[in-house]
């Protein structure tokens, strides 16, 4: 089973600041297999990125993704008030899927 480790666990930032979230895999995976989700309290997760760097429909361009091999990054260039939430990376491989444990982006 591929384990995804996200860091940091919590990111305390102010609106307008840049957020950099990391997702590290326990073994090399294709960037095609990485997705990122945003979850707000009481809501289902929402797809942000797929294929590591492709924004989902309706996702603003302040969100970007990158990475390859075992290290992947989600960047929010300038935090808006609605961006404070929990973010999860996800991978799929050989029909088995896993999520990272999440990074909470909170208002400083």
Interface residue list for another protein (CB under 8 A): 1, 32-33, 35, 37, 39, 44-47, 50-51, 54, 56, 86, 88, 90, 92, 95-102
Q: Whole-number minimum distance, CB 95 to another protein, in Å?
A: 5
- Please identify, using beta-carbon distances, which residue of 50 and 77 lies nearer to another protein: 50
Q: Whole-number minimum distance, CB 16 to another protein, in Å?
A: 27
Q: Whole-number minimum distance, CB 46 to another protein, in Å?
A: 8
How does DSSP assign the chain, residue by residue?
Answer: ---EEEE-SEEEE-TTS-EEEEEEEEEEE-GGGEEEEEE-TTS--EEEEETTTEEPTT--TTEEEEEEEEEEEEEESS--GGG-SEEEEEEEETTEEEE---EEEEE-
């Amino acid at each position: 089973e591929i384990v995804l480790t996200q860091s940091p666990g919590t990111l305390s930032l102010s609106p307008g600041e840049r957020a950099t979230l990391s997702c590290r895999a326990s073994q090399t995976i294709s960037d095609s297999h990485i997705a990122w989700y945003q979850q707000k309290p009481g809501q289902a997760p929402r797809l942000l990125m797929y294929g590591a760097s492709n924004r989902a429909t309706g996702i603003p361009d302040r969100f970007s993704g990158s990475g390859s091999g075992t290290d992947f990054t989600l960047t929010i260039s300038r935090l808006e008030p609605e961006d404070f939430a929990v973010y999860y990376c996800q991978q799929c491989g050989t029909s088995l899927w896993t999520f990272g444990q999440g990074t909470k982006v909170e208002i400083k």
